[in-house]
Amino acid sequence: ARTLICPFNQLLDHAPCRGTFLELGCGTGIYSNLLAIQSPDRTVWGVDLKPDRIAAARKTLGQRTNIFFEIADAAQAIATRRVEVIAAIDLFHHLQAEVQTSVLQAIYSGLGSGGLLILKDIDCTPRWRYCANYIHDSVMEWGAPLHFRGRDEFRRLLENVGFHVEVVLMPKAYLSHVLFLCRKD
């Protein structure tokens, strides 16, 4: 069902064709797999805190040698490998506001000059789409708190961390997907 509501093809259009990628909060590995399948010139690391999700992701590897999955938190994953691109797809609204800031600072510090953060989240407008997503995520992650930011607030946060930010709106189905392409000089 996730492939029906998340604009993965549009996300792939914005990813460089080669390089080392790290996907934070990769879940069952959909985006990581798509990155690796689309280009053998990419090396992709998917990390998540939930062992059951990493176990499911590892079952998708087959014989491919350009993709890896491991249990790790964001700070640990960023600190232990050099990558050109970091992706976070629908992760940040699951992090508390102060954690969002500290993870973004770690990402900025961990990326080299010219590095790219591909961050997709949900916008708070229009309100009906935001409410639909809130209900969706509340059901999928029952009891877990959600911490959404509007796109302007998110952009300011990213710029305050040091990124140059391009915002791409990608509404699909009942959701207000918003993509932040964040470059480090």
Q: pTM of the full predicted structure? A: 0.94
Cα–Cα distance, 97 to 101 (Å, whole number)? 7
- pLDDT at res. 175: 81
Whether the pLDDT of residue 151 is over 80: the answer is yes
CA distances from 29 to 55, 127, 129, 135, 149 (A): 10, 29, 25, 23, 25
At 2-31, the pLDDT tens digits run: 777 889 999 999 999 999 999 999 999 999
Rounded average pLDDT over 33-56:
97
- Mean pLDDT, the chain, integer: 93
Under 8 Å CB-to-CB from 139, ≥6 apart: which residues? none
Give the distance, in angstroms, between the CA of residue 117 and the centroid of all CA atoms in the same chain. Answer: 8
